[in-house]
Structure 1
């Protein structure tokens, strides 16, 4: 694994552990006896942390560092495999899609990216609900975010908060709301959509073929899933 990749992975681990404990970067820095800027640089991957610093940060959160060797992206393949073995209803529930869709109400939107792929049966990991929103509905969307006590993803500090909510403001279109994390694709017109139904709810989604064309990350996940399927068929 290249060092730059390892640095990114380690930063992600520290951020994930911190957020799981509902700590801010400032609080973790105080517990670990380091500066907030140090925590921010580690989480963003801007600094290659020493083993001592990693142990210091993790120890402050009641965790410890372990080392293992595995094939590249083995964890991602394992997640895809685990999802493939689950009922679709369980995957939808775990992704938190229904909670977001219910709160969106009559705000015009189309589910996109990995969320759209999941709703069409693909066992892809979904870390945030992805939606397409028209710029014409930006004010309504901003009010929806406000009503949902949203915090915007701050790429500089690698955490949610400290930025204005409006999509027009600079920053990544990713928010944490009471319904879950939401990533928006702001567009002049909503993309062409199809309707899929699961249980008692209908969803307007970007067709799978369009997802693969427009979303490189979702396309890569789908490719990995198909490779796993092909490998399983060859071994059977």
Structure 2
């Protein structure tokens, strides 16, 4: 499956946000721009870079115009990681509302993994969703919890929450939005070995950083980037 274009994804997100802020349906925007609802839907899914004339018409229909700038590759990510490194870990955990979600999980067996585990072990990596590992044999309990938490599953095709099935056994990304926050699950046969970390009198069972790097490509890329930048900064200061 071809990798999504970052530019197409950004155009899609901005168009959805601006259309939504004006309380327009896709059909209403299409009528204004002289195109079809299906064309608007394709742009908003971000599956490929749309033609510039179509994008210009869509934004013009919202009384907006495109502005083109350039920046260093991944400079926004670097700036975000720098900002995170400057903030107390307590605040970063609070931003994620991690404790609220974990309290609501009750006695469901889980391990914190991915970027969430990296965060709790001090890495200044962006975390937008709580990541846990859950055993397949606990999937029925997990599904029942998702229903009780008013979960909505991420639909990768339509790039929105609201997938028809909550069950982890159903095809699709293991990402849900719940009343307590967003949750990504790594389904596994057995819970991975964990270490215990403590912050503000609370204990968390997390997957060690080395294991995170071996099992989670998304988090591994962030951790490698953090180390490379830290090493580069140390070299310059020396």
Q: What is the TM-score of this pair, normalised by structure 2? A: 0.86
Where do 1:205-216 residues align within 5 Å? Answer: 205-216=206-217
CA distance in 1, matches of 2:186, 2:131: 8
Aligned match for 1:10, one of 8, 11, 22: 8
Q: Residues 233 and 66 (structure 1 numbering): CA distance in 2 closer, same or farther, change over 3 Å?
A: same
- Long gaps (5+) in structure 2: none
CA distance in 1, matches of 2:124, 2:149: 28
Shift of 1:171: 1.3
Q: Residues 37 and 103 (structure 1 numbering): CA distance in 2 closer, same or farther, change over 3 Å?
A: farther
Does the 8 Å contact 1:174/1:182 carry over to 2?
yes
SS of 1:196's equivalent in the other structure is strand
CA distance in 2, matches of 1:22, 1:99: 29
- Deviation string 1:99-146 (CA, Å, 9 cap, x unpaired) is 221211211110110000001000001121111011111111111111
Shift of 1:38: 2.6
Shift of 1:52: 3.9
SS of 2:132's equivalent in the other structure is strand
1:80 aligned residue: 81
- Deviation string 1:168-212 (CA, Å, 9 cap, x unpaired) is 111111111111111101111111111111113211110111111
More moved, 149-158 vs 40-49 = 40-49
2:232 aligned residue: 231
1:152 aligned residue: 153
CA distance in 1, matches of 2:181, 2:27: 26
CA distance in 1, matches of 2:191, 2:123: 22
SS of 1:116's equivalent in the other structure is helix
1:191 aligned residue: 192
Does the 8 Å contact 1:154/1:161 carry over to 2?
yes
CA distance in 1, matches of 2:62, 2:141: 39
CA distance in 1, matches of 2:121, 2:18: 30
SS of 1:183's equivalent in the other structure is strand
Q: Residues 98 and 49 (structure 1 numbering): CA distance in 2 closer, same or farther, change over 3 Å?
A: same
CA distance in 1, matches of 2:37, 2:123: 40
Shift of 1:98: 2.0
Larger radius of gyration: 2
Shift of 1:46: 2.8
Q: What is the TM-score of this pair, normalised by structure 1? A: 0.86
Shift of 1:18: 2.9
Alignment RMSD (CA, Å):
2.6
1:97 aligned residue: 98
Q: Residues 204 and 49 (structure 1 numbering): CA distance in 2 closer, same or farther, change over 3 Å?
A: same
- Long gaps (5+) in structure 1: none
